[in-house]
Structure 1
Amino acid sequence: MFRTALRNVFAHKARLLMTVLAVMLGVAFVSGTLVFTNTISQAYQKSSAKGFDQVDVAVEAELQEDKGDTVGKRAELTQALLDESAKVPGAASAIGVVNGFTAIADKDGKLIGGGFQSQGGNYWGAEDPRYPLVSGHAPSGEGEVLIDSQTAKRAGYEVGDTVRLSVDGPVLDPKITGIFSTDDGNVAAGGSLALFDTAAAQQLFGKPGTYDQIDVKAKAGVSQSALKAELDKALPKDTVETTTGQELADSQAEAISASMSGLKQGLLVFAGIALFVGTFIIANTFTMLVAQRTKELALLRAVGASRRQVTRSVLIEAFVVGVVAAVTGLAAGVGIGAGLRSLMGTLGATVPDGPLVITPGTVLAALAVGVLVTMLAAWLPGRRAAKIPPVAAMSSVHAQATTKSLVLRNTLGALFSAAGVAVVLAATTMSGSDGQAPMGLGAVLLIIGVFVLTPLLSRPLIAAAAPVLRVFGVSGKLARQNSVRNPRRTAATASALMIGLTLITGMTVMAGSLQKSIDKMASSAIRADYVVSMANGNQLSPDVARKLGRIDDVTATSPLRNAPSRIGGETEYLTGVTGSTIGELTDLKVDSGSFKVGGTQVVVDDRTAESHGWKAGSSFTVAYEDGKKQKLTVAGVYEGNEMIQGIMLDLATLSPHQTDPADMQVMVKTSDGASGATKDKLEKALGSNPAIKVQDKKDLSNDIAQMFTLMLNMLYGLLAMAVLVAVLGVINTLAMSVFERSQEIGMLRAIGLDRRGVKRMVRLESLVICLFGGVLGIGLGVFFGWAAGELLGSTLATYELVLPWARMAIFLLLAATVGVLAALWPARRAGRLNMLAAIKSE
């Protein structure tokens, strides 16, 4: 039986090629993802580990817990603690570390490093062992700075140049006195690092006389654990905590691994769907191969082969195909991993140097995925063939499905579909995250149910195309009949395309609806013409609001300033605003009371009010971050949204209780309204600062919707991969169908159907199958998009369903294009058949 199985593999090389390609694509993406993420992760881990070479023990301030009416604060690392750390037994030296956000502009005024990776710090003394100087000398005062060598190279800066940068809003123009090298992970990832002298860094980052961390270096022969023990004895335990350099390196490695896991999971989802779609092709291929060899398998049964041996022979064929596909997929995956790494470089992302990482786990995963997916997909056709009685099999090449099996299939499909619809509808009545898991479960059940019912659905849906197919005469009529001749095969072929279109249509519906709701929210809640904020989401200096208020065309401004407080023993964030102007800058619906902010009067969003049991006229006591208490009165309750919510009080009331005030954003209204000229004027007034964003309402909604757009673009890539696999499936199905119907095609040719008519018949059959899959996919996608929108609507009041008719038409056209392209080779093959040879074939 083993030799028979191998001979069958070699006898059907061409037919199995498409199956190998389908499995290979999935395996290639799995192994490519693992190679790419492992390579990048290891490179970053090694690079970041070098950054801890000068740290044997790090001393950090502990964050005190919120207790009673006291807001917890982080303890300060003073100069006295630094001096004490340097004196402990076993310590060779101690360095005070100061850091914070620092945006550096290139020579064109554009931000380097993407905002989040733009960091600043202090250079310790005349020579800092952490940052070896490549050229120049140490900085002195706020007018001098060092920049890292990679940033200097990217932006074309040299020692002696003036660079524009920003720490928390105001623009600085220091002179570059030196360039240094670093193994900092942010810089390796394409970010930037600027260093000031210690006093200047403390002043710029709002930490005069204090440090963010103290790095202690051990003397020769002293272990990190021994030095840590000495520091624990000498330093106050209630305000500081110590960590060894090795623990920091391990923690950094875990953080890098965790950050890469999101990318890895996203890419593996792509690969998983490709394999899932490929499973249909494999099952379809083996079903047709087994059907064509029914007499052969029956003869084996007649001469003594058992059912198990017949099933085993099919599985051996699948194993051989799976091994070949897995090995070639692994090789292709290594190439994909290397290509993705190179692509990151061409897109401007800097990746640390390091070898290509191919772990044993990657190899095993590729082999396991390729072999298991292929064998699982082939098991059912093999089992079905083994159950056919030898006499019945030898009397009929095409064993028809029994009435019992069809009834069972349709019953199961109906039950799964009904259960899926019921669970999805139930999930839409839930709120927020509570409905996510049921929604996912319902979607899976419904997709399985529709897949099982697809053979039943194929007849009425394909019959609906009959009027159009009649236009093509005999070829169109034959194409329709051939499409429904074997409903299971048609269903398996169409389902590959259906899965991809379901995902992409659902996400397109959601993205369009969310964009519309966010636009609606921005236009209905904000009267301000512009909102000013930091590029990386950090806090703005209060100087920004003051500068904006002095511009001639600006009629009203108000910062939005978050401040922690304690209310009723719980931490609650307050939002400080300019009470006299906030009403002009917002347009929030008031449920009760009046929108009045000033003195001890505040306004509260509806959810916060409900959680505390407040209403207009209610009073409560707040404990500010400085420990002082005050009684406030709720003047009104407004409907909050994702942009504006919380307890609003006047800055004149809040500011005296803040030691280090900073704004999240500033709202601005101008006399001329939003325009390109006004925006330029605001940006110039702020020094054309690359770290600051000046956004109108449209910019705000686009900024919020950006992550949905990114996800949608990723899914378009997923659709392209699913379509590629689906094309292979359609080609495979049609090619084998042409082979199966050789006699029939020969007879059609003999009675007058010309080559062009045969080609048209095959192309129309392919077109009908793909449009069938497209209609099902788009229909399911719209349903899932609507359901997910209903779930989101419970937390997003402005949500409304938007159906992207134009894009759905494009998706349907794409399905039709797939059908036409996939039929080119099978149609050409059918048209070239010799009619006499075809009639004589078995």
Structure 2
Amino acid sequence: MGGAAADRAGAGAGGAVFSLALWTLRRRKAGSAGAFVALCGASVLLTAFGIVLRSGIGGGVPAQRYAAADVLVAGPRSFSVTEGDSTKTEQLTGPAPVPAGLVRRVDGVEGVRRAVGAVRFPAELVDGDGHRVRGAGDRRSEGANWASAALGSYERSGRAPAAPDEVVVEESLARAAGVRVGDTVRIAATDDVARRTVVGTVRRTGSDGTLRSPPVFFADATARALSGREGRFDAVGVLAARGVPPGELAARIADRLDGERAEVHTGGGRGTVEHRDVTAARHQLRELAGSLGGTVVLITMLVVGGTLALGVQQRRRELALLRAVGATPRQIHRLIAGEALILAVTASALGWLPGIAAAQVLRRALAATGTLPSDFAFSAGPLPMVAALLVGVLTAQVPAFAVARRAAAVPPVEALGTAESPEPGTGRARTCWGLLLFVLGAAASLLPLFSGSVFAVAGAGSGGLVMVVSVLVLAPSLVGGVIRVAGLPLRRLLGTPGLLALANSRYHARRTAAGAGPLVLALGFAALQLFIPATVSAAAAAQARAGGLADWTVTVPGAGVPRDVLRRAERLPGVTAVAGTVRAEVFGSRELLDSAEVFPYQAQGVTRGALGRLLDPGTVHGAPERLRPGTVVLSGQAAATLGVHTGDRARLHLPDGTRARPRVVAVHRRGAGFGDVLLPAATLLRHGAGPLYDSVLVRGTSHGGTSHGGTAHTRAELERLAARYPGAEVREGGAAPAGQEHTALASLLDSALPLVPVLGYIAVSVGNTLVMSTLARGREFALLRLLGATRRQVRRMLLTEVALLALAAVVLGTLVPLLPLSTVALGLTGTPVPYIPPLLHLGLAALASAPAAAAVLLPAGHTLRGPLRPGSALR
């Protein structure tokens, strides 16, 4: 009975405390607004990134050219590496091709009406002015085999192509080119630009009729030759017999193909196979969410925790009174936890719709930079919102417990005595934790000094983030120290308001740190996320220039260089060396601590004779000129990461997932400029890089000998050759194309865009915190006015405080990431000097300072605007 009564009493007390929490929030709307804004912003951010992750898993574009296929069979979209009991699975950027023999096997499955192999390859119409023709919606066309037309929903006119020089063209494409059935048209394909006869047209039925890639259909044998697939298809489309459900047929086909490297798709999965750019975009979104998701949760927790701590700090008198009248520490805990729970649930729910809108804005921005296709649809659903709610509640409860523990630890009598005392400095436990985090982060940042592997570089990047977080933990001491040092030479310049601001900033260290700490977090986080890719881009351009030995580079921007260009360039007078290059993503793997590890690498394929004559990758040891099928040249970092040396066999997976064990013939030092993995071009072209070269490098001679300048005559001949291929350009040198600057800018934008909502949230939270702090200083402003200070002097004092706060944030936010930036630069580029764009750094500093100034001066101006009431200084 006694136990039951105690339980009822505890429950009643808990209900009373919760009611008090609800009553407090209703009566203290201004005091709760800060935490509410922080939690609502956190919900917006978490919902947006949850949608990004969800879209990376299930977003995309419906099938179009395979829309009539009931079932689609394609190669695997992933591969697995097993070491002992450990298996690691990695996603490919697109489905691998399948053997042509699969068509016959699928065709024999019960319920299959017809199985059709499909190939696709670059093929564009060329108008009379030599420009490539686009279809409706400015869409780039693609070549395909005529049999695959049965897999799409088309209305057809004319006849099927039969001869190698006959084509069937999509209607909007034919209209844009101004051709009709029976006309001839120039078509740029993978081998050459040739005239072909239009023997028919097709028009998509249903929907709005707009195709993402309008087809140009060739005769089947011609299409297979142009695709370069050599006995393989991109996919096998299956038309079901009447009355056979697609799901049931897919199960039968999967049983028949058990053991084959093939996957069976129905419904929305067909779009994943058809649209390779969508597959790559989903991969990008998963990487984005994976790399920033945990950091976003950490940042929201730190920001919300700081806001709640400031709110509790401003309520010390109220909490002290509760303790004095008998409130137990447990009840204080329940009060603060209840307030945090109510705020978290309400604010998280209100943040859902803005979060969805923020995700759509991010989608449009990523589409504008080319990271996502313009028609890529984000997939929302309830899961991101539920996750944002749960994380929001957790984010509020963890710091609420921490601040409540501190508030409840003070004895009742002492609580009343300390309620009006200055805020305490950094506690011993907080100092110890902060120093521990800083030491761990600094130790991780030094790893590239001892190892050249990707593990060391990744550890240094993570260590940098840990160091930035440690500065946030130690902010009261560090910010005060920076202000103290900065104030020494400024004392004579500040005047009376400035000296008062300096004393205020040092005396109220926790209040100053509450505003400066998140700014340090924003600047440090932005520096790590932006300056590392900027450093890699700058190093790539420098290494490409240093190692480029060619006189000219032929490219076709937005497309690729046909193989015929290489053959014809070799026969030009004055040309001594020609090579084709192609880039793709490959994967390296190794066993580490009984676990399988997989690493993605940028690979460059080069034709035989390129290394040493047209490209100098900076050989460390070995002989790169011995590169041929079955061999590989690795960068020093890739070799260290994969644990191989010259003469060893590296474990690689090619772009289509094919396992390879090439022998390492050399190790080089210019991985940023030429790729960590150098392979024969034929290997990459056959295994998923496509049938076109990215560029063709050419070297010429001058009078009687070799000259890096080439000759005007050879250049003119090369220009004449390039004019045969629409869009082809001849550029000086053999380094990266002149578009390198644009590529670097695009890379920087890709890194910057996802940061915008994160940094925006931090900026809003900083403003929120400073508004709370400034509005709580009404008594202080009134007292200054009573002592004779004018409104202008008070504003000058506040402006100086903001300047000191921003100065401390910029100094700490710049200095702390320098160590990890330098060691990461050493690991990635071989030099310890990171590239920090001056204008970008100044812009970040200005963007960090502006909201702080507005958040202090605007509410202060409102407070100072009214008439002075002597009693307001005593309340």
The percentage of aligned residue pairs carrying the same residue is: 24
Question: Which residue of 317, 327, 332 maps to 2:339?
Answer: 317
Cα deviation, 1:163-211, whole Å, max 9, x if unaligned, reads: 6543324123445531332899x986x4443322323323433568986
Alpha-carbon separation, structure 2, partners of 1:32 and 1:606: 38
Residues 1:728 and 2:743 are matched in the alignment: no
Alpha-carbon separation, structure 2, partners of 1:60 and 1:598: 29
Question: Which residue of 174, 178, 192 maps to 2:201?
Answer: 178
Q: Which amino acid aligns with 1:585?
A: L
Question: How many Å apart are 1:477 and its aligned residue?
Answer: 1.0
Cα deviation, 1:35-91, whole Å, max 9, x if unaligned, reads: 46657975636x239936435575989xxxxxxxxxxx999637xx96787677654
Deviates more, 1:441-450 or 1:687-696: 687-696
Cα deviation, 1:633-680, whole Å, max 9, x if unaligned, reads: x9x9987755289999999xxxxxxxx998675321256959999989
Kept in 2: contact 1:326–1:369 (CA 8 A): no
Cα deviation, 1:503-522, whole Å, max 9, x if unaligned, reads: 22234443443334323322
Residues 1:430 and 2:451 are matched in the alignment: yes
The aligned residue for residue 70 of structure 1 is: none
Question: How many Å apart are 1:753 and its aligned residue?
Answer: 1.0
Q: Which amino acid aligns with 2:856?
A: A
Residues 1:764 and 2:779 are matched in the alignment: no
Change in 2 beyond 3 A, CA 1:20/1:110: farther
Cα deviation, 1:533-574, whole Å, max 9, x if unaligned, reads: 566797x65421232244567564344699xxxxxxxxxx99
TM-score, normalization: structure 1? 0.76
Alpha-carbon separation, structure 2, partners of 1:87 and 1:829: 81
Alpha-carbon separation, structure 1, partners of 2:717 and 2:404: 74
Change in 2 beyond 3 A, CA 1:476/1:119: same
Change in 2 beyond 3 A, CA 1:515/1:206: closer
Question: How many Å apart are 1:462 and its aligned residue?
Answer: 0.2
Residues 1:48 and 2:69 are matched in the alignment: no
Question: Which residue of 499, 502, 512 maps to 2:521?
Answer: 499
Equivalent position SS for 2:63? helix
Question: How many Å apart are 1:373 and its aligned residue?
Answer: 2.0
Deviates more, 1:287-296 or 1:681-690: 681-690
Deviates more, 1:217-226 or 1:826-835: 217-226
The aligned residue for residue 3 of structure 2 is: none
Change in 2 beyond 3 A, CA 1:393/1:148: farther
Alpha-carbon separation, structure 1, partners of 2:251 and 2:73: 12
Question: How many Å apart are 1:307 and its aligned residue?
Answer: 1.1
Alpha-carbon separation, structure 1, partners of 2:480 and 2:133: 59
Cα deviation, 1:598-632, whole Å, max 9, x if unaligned, reads: 999x99889799967669xxxxxxxxxxxxxxxx9
Alpha-carbon separation, structure 1, partners of 2:841 and 2:272: 47
Equivalent position SS for 1:286? helix
The aligned residue for residue 547 of structure 1 is: 568
Question: Which residue of 303, 307, 317 maps to 2:325?
Answer: 303
The aligned residue for residue 825 of structure 1 is: 858
The aligned residue for residue 336 of structure 1 is: 358
Residues 1:25 and 2:45 are matched in the alignment: no
Alpha-carbon separation, structure 2, partners of 1:436 and 1:593: 25
Alpha-carbon separation, structure 1, partners of 2:869 and 2:122: 80
Cα deviation, 1:232-285, whole Å, max 9, x if unaligned, reads: 99x999999795768974985999688525315525866765664454553344
The aligned residue for residue 10 of structure 2 is: none
Unaligned 5+ segments in structure 1 are 62-72, 563-572, 616-631, 652-659
Alpha-carbon separation, structure 1, partners of 2:257 and 2:770: 78
Alpha-carbon separation, structure 1, partners of 2:432 and 2:469: 13
Q: Which amino acid aligns with 1:398?
A: E
Alpha-carbon separation, structure 2, partners of 1:288 and 1:18: 9
Equivalent position SS for 2:474? helix
Equivalent position SS for 1:527? coil
Alpha-carbon separation, structure 2, partners of 1:733 and 1:36: 28
Equivalent position SS for 1:168? coil
Question: How many Å apart are 1:357 and its aligned residue?
Answer: 5.3
Equivalent position SS for 2:698? strand
Change in 2 beyond 3 A, CA 1:259/1:457: same
Question: How many Å apart are 1:706 and its aligned residue?
Answer: 6.6
Change in 2 beyond 3 A, CA 1:463/1:332: same
Change in 2 beyond 3 A, CA 1:202/1:762: same
Equivalent position SS for 1:528? coil
Change in 2 beyond 3 A, CA 1:119/1:285: same
Alpha-carbon separation, structure 1, partners of 2:782 and 2:635: 76
Equivalent position SS for 2:351? helix
The aligned residue for residue 452 of structure 1 is: 473
Deviates more, 1:515-524 or 1:582-591: 582-591
TM-score, normalization: structure 2? 0.74
Q: Which amino acid aligns with 1:48?
A: A
Kept in 1: contact 2:806–2:849 (CA 8 A): yes
Change in 2 beyond 3 A, CA 1:158/1:604: closer
Q: Which amino acid aligns with 1:455?
A: P
Equivalent position SS for 2:216? strand
The aligned residue for residue 586 of structure 2 is: none
The aligned residue for residue 417 of structure 1 is: 438
Question: How many Å apart are 1:461 and its aligned residue?
Answer: 0.6
The aligned residue for residue 490 of structure 1 is: 512
Alpha-carbon separation, structure 1, partners of 2:227 and 2:240: 29
Question: How many Å apart are 1:105 and its aligned residue?
Answer: 6.2
In the TM superposition, what are the counterparts of 1:12-411 in structure 2 within 5 Å?
12-35=28-51, 38=54, 44=60, 47-48=62-63, 51=66, 53-56=68-71, 58=73, 77=100, 91-103=112-124, 109=131, 119-124=142-147, 128=150, 130-133=152-155, 138-148=160-170, 159=180, 165-174=187-196, 177-181=200-204, 190-206=212-228, 215-221=237-243, 249=270, 252=273, 260=282, 262-264=284-286, 266=288, 276-339=298-361, 358-398=380-420, 406-411=427-432
Cα deviation, 1:408-445, whole Å, max 9, x if unaligned, reads: 33233223212221222134422222224532453344
Kept in 2: contact 1:746–1:834 (CA 8 A): no
Kept in 2: contact 1:755–1:831 (CA 8 A): yes
Alpha-carbon separation, structure 2, partners of 1:395 and 1:596: 81
Equivalent position SS for 2:326? coil
Residues 1:749 and 2:799 are matched in the alignment: no
Kept in 2: contact 1:497–1:723 (CA 8 A): no
Residues 1:474 and 2:496 are matched in the alignment: yes
Alpha-carbon separation, structure 1, partners of 2:246 and 2:859: 70
**Aligned length in residues:** 785
Change in 2 beyond 3 A, CA 1:663/1:3: closer
Equivalent position SS for 1:585? coil
Equivalent position SS for 2:144? strand
Change in 2 beyond 3 A, CA 1:112/1:463: farther
Question: How many Å apart are 1:711 and its aligned residue?
Answer: 4.5
Equivalent position SS for 2:550? coil
Kept in 2: contact 1:414–1:449 (CA 8 A): yes
Change in 2 beyond 3 A, CA 1:146/1:447: same
Cα deviation, 1:666-719, whole Å, max 9, x if unaligned, reads: 321256959999989746523463576655558616767877644532443455
The aligned residue for residue 585 of structure 1 is: 614
Alpha-carbon separation, structure 2, partners of 1:521 and 1:789: 14
Q: Which amino acid aligns with 2:674?
A: M
Q: Which amino acid aligns with 1:54?
A: A
Change in 2 beyond 3 A, CA 1:35/1:74: closer
Alpha-carbon separation, structure 1, partners of 2:143 and 2:237: 17
Q: Which amino acid aligns with 1:754?
A: T
Q: Which amino acid aligns with 1:420?
A: G
The aligned residue for residue 658 of structure 2 is: none
Unaligned 5+ segments in structure 2 are 1-16, 77-95, 584-602, 649-662, 683-689, 703-707
Change in 2 beyond 3 A, CA 1:761/1:165: farther
Question: How many Å apart are 1:476 and its aligned residue?
Answer: 0.7
